[in-house]
Structure 1
Amino acid sequence: VITDIEGSTALWDMLEQQVMDRVLALHHTAVREVCGRCAGYESGTEGDAFVLAFHNARDAVLFGTEVQEALMRCNWPEELLAVEVCKPLYVTPLSQRQLSQQAADAAKPGQQATG
């Protein structure tokens, strides 16, 4: 498994070094903790990228899902969360009525569902 923080070069240009140092520390801690729990091996790092090995595909997939959850729980600096691509995204489940309306819209010939 190879990991990489998408857009990190742009983040380095936008944010102060101490903010990015904290971001990388949080990221690296999360990746390393989850890698260990999933019986992974850290083969190498370069910047914000990791090269990880696992005994089997199941452990690698488990790492992928668990590291995403761990990263979601990190206490990211406010400066990072102010960047447009890093802003929190809040999702609310659709009501039964909204789901029914989407299904009805999708069933209409020549119509596209908007969801």
Structure 2
Amino acid sequence: DLGSTNGTSVGGAVLVGTATLQPGDVVTFGRCRLELADEGQRGEHNGADPLRRTSIDLVAAAAAADPLPVSLAAAGTLTIVFSDIEQSTRRAVELGDERWMALLGVHNRLVRRHVERSGGVEVKAQGDGFMLAFPSARSAVQCSIEIQRALAAHGRSHPTEALRVRIGMHAGEAIAEDGDLFGRPVVLAARIANQARGGEILVSSLVREIVETRGDLRFGPPREAPLKGLEGTYRLHPILLEGRDAGY
């Protein structure tokens, strides 16, 4: 079973170690269900080896047909993202309650739209910010970039409604309970977001190591910072945005 967090069973019995499958056996893990077919029931499938046709190919087909959302019930390894609006109290006073609430609604809809498109989950809204969870560091970073770009575009077209949002993230094994996430990765992500500047995406060294391998992202100079409640200092990395979106 490789210690999977969502469990694996064969014929309804929890799998411990390895098991030899027979035709007709049903394997379940998480929301996936696989049934080992008889050799005579299988058609041609690109000339693949029979074993591969009934396991790897079926898993790939199931994933392509029904991508799974982030499950807070069996959290496991996630990338946690925190965001908040820079100097939100001052902006609320400047705009007045009615205009501020309208602008906050624009911000919330924009963030939620990009989170949904990226396959993320809104864990909770926090007044002028969000706690989000993503199944991969790549999707978390890409979503954050799109959010900052959209906010920059909104600010250019509506100068009096410009908002600068700070975003920070970290990846790790989170603990899920009552629809919320807990654990050291959550604390780190929140503290990193507190170190971010308006319009900035700030990530931990772990997130950078995960996402930089493709070479399509640019990072600014790292900076060492203490994180409240945690010992020592941490190296944090800003993701550079391009063109008009940079430092909006």
Asked whether the two chains share a fold, i.e. TM above 0.5, the reply is yes
**Which letter maps to 1:3?**
S
Q: 1:27 to 1:18 in 2, by over 3 A?
A: same
State the alpha-carbon separation in 1 of the partners of residues 89 and 158 from structure 2. 17
**Which letter maps to 1:9?**
T
- Alignment partner for residue 104 of structure 2, among 24, 27, 36? 24
- Larger relative contact order, structure 1 or 2 (CA cutoff 8 Å, min sep 6): 1
- Alignment partner for residue 56 of structure 1, among 136, 148, 172? 136
Aligned pairs, number: 84
Deviation at 1:24, TM superposition (A): 0.4
Q: Deviations over 1:65-115 (max 9, x none)?
A: 01011112337756445xxx9xxxxx6xxxxxxxxxxxxxxxxxxxxxxxx
State the alpha-carbon separation in 1 of the partners of residues 159 and 99 from structure 2. 9
Equivalent runs, 1:3-82 vs 2, <5 Å: 3-74=83-154, 79-80=160-161
Greater Cα offset, 37-46 or 10-19: 10-19
State the alpha-carbon separation in 2 of the partners of residues 25 and 50 from structure 1. 13
**Which letter maps to 1:50?**
F
Among the aligned pairs, what percent are the same residue? Answer: 34
- The answer to whether the Cα contact below 8 Å between 1:35 and 1:63 also exists between their aligned partners in 2 is yes
| Cα RMSD for the two superposed structures | 2.3
Q: Secondary structure at the match of 1:47?
A: coil
Equivalent runs, 1:80-95 vs 2, <5 Å: 80=161
Q: Which has the higher helix share?
A: 1
Q: Secondary structure at the match of 1:4?
A: strand
TM-score scaled by length of structure 1: 0.64
Where in structure 2 are there 5+ consecutive unaligned residues? 1-80, 163-197, 199-243
**Which letter maps to 1:10?**
R
Q: Deviations over 1:31-60 (max 9, x none)?
A: 000001110000001111100000010000
**Which letter maps to 1:37?**
R
State the alpha-carbon separation in 1 of the partners of residues 141 and 122 from structure 2. 15
State the alpha-carbon separation in 1 of the partners of residues 89 and 102 from structure 2. 15
Where in structure 1 are there 5+ consecutive unaligned residues? 86-90, 92-115
State the alpha-carbon separation in 1 of the partners of residues 154 and 102 from structure 2. 11
Q: 1:17 to 1:77 in 2, by over 3 A?
A: farther
**Which letter maps to 2:129?**
A
TM-score scaled by length of structure 2: 0.31
Deviation at 1:15, TM superposition (A): 1.5
State the alpha-carbon separation in 1 of the partners of residues 101 and 158 from structure 2. 11
